[in-house]
Structure 1
Amino acid sequence: MNESKLEEQTPQSAPAFALTSGRARGYHRTAVDTFLASARRAFETGGDELGAEDVRTASFPLVKGGYVVADVDAALGRVEDAFAARERERTVRARGAGAWVEQARADAQVILDHLARPRRRRFGRTGVLTFGYRIDEVDHVSTRIVRYLRDGDALTAEQLRSAAFRMQRGGYREEQVDALLDATIDVILAVR
């Protein structure tokens, strides 16, 4: 039997996630599979080469026929939660629960101090000709974060992970908003 016939008869491994169809773009399959395999190895061996923040900030090229973004993002959220729990456990073992709680409290206060700025001035702005996150949408999410940290209102890491903002000229700088959302997710995961 020649090689091409053998290849036709050898079943391809099933994709780890649903695939996009038509003109829709999804995450590059090999990039996702490679990252998740390295995350699994790091978690199973207890290594420090990857952590919750690395999982949260992972990005993948978008291609036709790739993995459905929402499915991969949901899985990454679960992986991030597992790494965060392990990091919390290590810190509590090494420094005690009080140190962990104090660090989470200090991080929360930094976020609250930042969000105490007046509405429409909470983050740096892009230039008039440059696009940034829509100000009113970011301010709405910021208010929810304040209510969570100050008043104990419900807010989950998944809600922040899935927050999406439309773009506007002169909007908030994406990297500043994203950094604050990441810091808030860290606090949420710390106090679970």
Structure 2
Amino acid sequence: MTTFPRAGRTRTGYAPEQVDDFFERARSAYEESTLPGPRRPDAVDEDDVRTVAFDLVRQGYETSAVDAALDRLEVAFVQRRRADHISAHGQEAWMEQVADRATTLYPRLLRPAGERFAPPEKGQGYDAASVDALLDRVVAYFDEGEELTAAEVRGATFPPARGDKAYAEGPVDAYLDRVVEVLVAVE
């Protein structure tokens, strides 16, 4: 059974066996999360969904279709965890937990533009001004209630840059994953 559309004959996509295996494990974990008792150590959760990577192969699954499904799956896991937490501890406890996570983002947001991340050690990185523009939107979301969605942050792309006009990609990606985690928790 084909779960996702395939990339064309000459294009690459995600390895179908890896994708199918991951989604099967995720489905099982999601269904088991309603059962009482401790979580299995190999069970998938929203962190696994956010960080999973698949090999690229010819005629694999279309990456955009799989990525969109992963985004929906992450939201489903977070909504389940939120509902369980609110049921056990109340809405206020959930919001306190989210606020605690959000405050860990602030130190970097308070840094001056151009100094929020280190430049790449060598080669290209993300254009610092473009990253700073997105982080300014994050500040406006937290401080002024401006609109910003997890999908916008997930879909953000940055032009390449070099030297002191660039930020190293890894730390930016990791930080934006944490921003997405907070935004999904309140959406």
TM-score scaled by length of structure 2: 0.87
Is 2:16 aligned against 1:29? yes
Is the 8 Å Cα contact of residues 112 and 149 (structure 1) preserved in structure 2?
no
Runs (4+) of structure 1 exceeding 3 A deviation are: none
Superposition map of 1:102-181 within 5 A: 102-127=96-121, 129-170=122-163, 171-181=166-176
| Secondary structure at the counterpart of residue 57 of structure 2 | strand
Cα-to-partner distance string for 1:118-155 (whole Å, 9 max, x where unaligned):
1111112212x322222122112111111111111111
Q: Tell me the C-alpha RMSD between the 2 structures.
A: 1.6
| Secondary structure at the counterpart of residue 132 of structure 1 | strand
Matched residue type, 2:20? D
| Secondary structure at the counterpart of residue 146 of structure 1 | helix
Is the 8 Å Cα contact of residues 17 and 72 (structure 1) preserved in structure 2?
yes
Match of 2:50 in 1: 56
In the alignment, the residues of structure 2 paired with residue 182 and residue 94 of structure 1 have an alpha-carbon distance, to the nearest angstrom, of 27
Cα-to-partner distance string for 1:94-136 (whole Å, 9 max, x where unaligned):
3332221112112222223311111111112212x32222212
| Secondary structure at the counterpart of residue 184 of structure 1 | helix
Match of 1:9 in 2: none
1:72 to partner: Cα distance: 0.6
Matched residue type, 2:89? R
Superposition map of 1:72-91 within 5 A: 72-91=66-85
How many residue pairs get aligned? The number is 178
In the alignment, the residues of structure 2 paired with residue 162 and residue 34 of structure 1 have an alpha-carbon distance, to the nearest angstrom, of 25
Matched residue type, 2:185? A
1:73 to partner: Cα distance: 0.6
1:161 to partner: Cα distance: 1.5
Unaligned runs of 5+ in 1: 1-12
Deviates more, 1:54-63 or 1:108-117: 108-117
In the alignment, the residues of structure 1 paired with residue 161 and residue 54 of structure 2 have an alpha-carbon distance, to the nearest angstrom, of 24
Superposition map of 1:7-26 within 5 A: 13=1, 15-26=2-13
Cα-to-partner distance string for 1:72-97 (whole Å, 9 max, x where unaligned):
11000110000001111222233332
TM-score scaled by length of structure 1: 0.85
Matched residue type, 2:148? L
Unaligned runs of 5+ in 2: 34-38
1:183 to partner: Cα distance: 1.3
Identical aligned residues as a percent? 38
Match of 2:61 in 1: 67
Higher Cα radius of gyration: 1
